[in-house]
């Protein structure tokens, strides 16, 4: 079966760093995506990893370890506007078009 786990909620202070973990157990792995979703809005793309290692994009970084079935999204210098749900998504090997999403991690940034 397929399983993608993320923490339900995390709280952090403005200016701090937060790390959102995502673990997956899937029958085949073909890339991992992170999306941000503000309340009442559509998800928007943040990052993509297919090889092991760290991808950095401004205040956001994403890490992947395929052998461990593990990824994290690192948000630095947190801002109030970063309060949102963060979705981890795995693309499966049985089809380039097939995706599975985690339930999302709600990040609350406090002043």
Partner 1 sequence: EAQVTQNPRYLITVTGKKLTVTCSQNMNHEYMSWYRQDPGLGLRQIYYSMNVEVTDKGDVPEGYKVSRKEKRNFPLILESPSPNQTSLYFCASSLLAGDYNEQFFGPGTRLTVL
User: Which residues of this chain interact with partner 1, rule CB under 8 A?
Assistant: 2, 31, 33, 35, 41-45, 48, 50, 87, 89, 95-104
For residue 74, the minimal CB distance to partner 1 (Å) is 19
Beta bridge partners, 63, equal: 54, 72
Contacts of 22 (CB under 8 A, 6+ apart): 4, 5, 6, 32, 34, 70, 71, 72, 73, 88, 102
Which residue, 75 or 89, is less far from partner 1 as judged by CB? 89
For residue 15, the minimal CB distance to partner 1 (Å) is 28
For residue 4, the minimal CB distance to partner 1 (Å) is 8
99/29 Cα distance (integer angstroms): 10
């Amino acid at each position: 079966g397929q399983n993608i786990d993320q923490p339900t909620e995390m709280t952090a202070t403005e200016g701090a760093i937060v790390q959102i973990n995502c673990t997956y157990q899937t029958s085949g792995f073909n890339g991992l995506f992170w999306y941000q979703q503000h309340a009442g809005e559509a998800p928007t793309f943040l990052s993509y990893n297919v090889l092991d290692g760290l991808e950095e994009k401004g205040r956001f970084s994403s890490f992947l370890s395929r052998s461990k079935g593990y990824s994290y999204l690192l948000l630095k210098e947190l801002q109030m506007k970063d309060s949102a749900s963060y979705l981890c998504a795995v693309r499966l090997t049985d089809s380039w078009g097939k995706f599975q999403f985690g339930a999302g991690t709600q990040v609350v940034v406090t002043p």
